[in-house]
Amino acid sequence: MADLTARVAGLWRYPVKSCAGEAVDTLLLDADGWPVGDRGWGIVDAGGELTWMGAHPRLALVHARLVGSDLELQALGRSLTVPGEGGDALDVRGWNGERQDFDVLQVWDAGEDAAALLKATTGEPLRLVRLSIEAQRRPILNALHIVGEGSLQSWQDAMAQPLNGPAQRARPNLLLSAEDGGDLPPFIEDILIEARIGALTLRRTTVCVRCVVPTVDPASGEPQPVVLDALTRLSAERAPGAPVQFGVYARGDGAGTLRIGDRVDLSLNFGEA
């Protein structure tokens, strides 16, 4: 029995962690409940460390999509196809906030053409790398990010000026809308226990703590700190004293397919409302 029924309004995967995502009509989950093709690649800085959009905001201007087993990058009006296999094997460092130390991760370098496109876009000597499955599934990482349309609207309403690209800034894998075309209650995902889509169940794992990434304008690659100020106010109203949160993480109970328009039965914990 559902406490609330919603619909799948949007689906995204992010082939390259910290680059712009790819809107899709269907999103496949593997046997472990993770999105297929999501964050299988990463960006490494000159020091050999996995980096992110917070350190290099203009990565938001690099659009990545999967073409079969290959990766296509688009930036600055240029397009580049990167083979999904091969490359020189490297060990890089990835920060582990739980251990307060670095994990050593195996990756494969994508080559000079990809590095040149990243340098032209960001001005920094960055490298595109393909991540090993161990690097993709580190215990500190999360499978699926869920946000509701009502939450995006509340964020927009909290801004003094129109917010450009709220969904692109929030970077969800799954966007929920009201089933009947009405308004989905804002921050309904905060009290989500699980979401059932056909035979597939997505179980909430934790809240999504927000950083500077949502401040980056997806059209210009420029940070806008006032955007995080609005998120901070909204979060403080719901969870005083807690880190800034927006959206929740979940994981599927097995393999399945999410489709735009799918009915979603939500089980909610009203004790946390």
Q: For 23-71, write each residue's pLDDT tens digit.
A: 999 999 999 999 999 999 999 999 999 999 999 999 999 999 999 999 9
Report residue 273's pLDDT band, with 50, 70 and 90 as the boundaries.
Answer: low
pLDDT, tens digit, for every residue of 123-173? 999 999 999 999 999 999 999 999 999 999 999 999 988 999 999 999 999
Domain ranges of the chain: 4-35+142-272, 41-136
Q: Which two tokens stand for residue 26?
A: 């269907």
| Pairwise CA distance, residues 109 & 144, whole Å | 26
Amino acid present at 261 = G
Mean of the pLDDT values across residues 224-234?
A: 95
Which run of H or E residues covers position 8?
A: strand 4-13
What percent of the chain stands above pLDDT 70? Answer: 99
| Pairwise CA distance, residues 111 & 133, whole Å | 20
Beta bridge partners of 145: 249
Name the residue among 163, 164, 189 with its Cα closest to residue 176.
189
Instruction: Give the domain 4-35+142-272 fold.
Output: M1 Pyruvate Kinase; Domain 3 (2.40.33)
pLDDT, tens digit, for every residue of 177-213? 998 878 899 999 999 999 999 999 999 999 999 999 9
The more confident residue out of 115 and 2 is 115
pLDDT at 272 over 70: no
| Pairwise CA distance, residues 263 & 265, whole Å | 7
pLDDT, tens digit, for every residue of 57-108? 999 999 999 999 999 999 999 999 999 999 999 999 999 999 999 999 999 9
Contact partners, residue 34, CB within 8 Å, separation at least 6: 136, 137, 143, 144, 251, 252
> What 3-state DSSP class applies to 27?
strand
| Pairwise CA distance, residues 116 & 120, whole Å | 6
Please classify residue 26 by burial: count the beta carbons closer than 10 Å to its beta carbon, then call 0-12 exposed, 13-18 middle and 19+ buried.
Answer: exposed
Which run of H or E residues covers position 101?
A: strand 101-109
Amino acid present at 132 = S
pLDDT, position 271: 78
For residue 255, give Cα distances in angstroms to 54, 87, 102, 197, 266.
Answer: 32, 29, 31, 12, 19
pLDDT, position 183: 86
Report residue 1's pLDDT band, with 50, 70 and 90 as the boundaries.
Answer: low
Name the residue among 259, 243, 233, 234 with its Cα closest to residue 175.
259
Please work out, in degrees rounded to the nearest 5, the angle formed at the alpha carbon of residue 110 by the alpha carbons of 114 and 92.
115
| Pairwise CA distance, residues 44 & 230, whole Å | 31
pLDDT at 270 over 90: no
- Alpha-carbon torsion angle 232, 238, 243, 246, nearest 10: -70
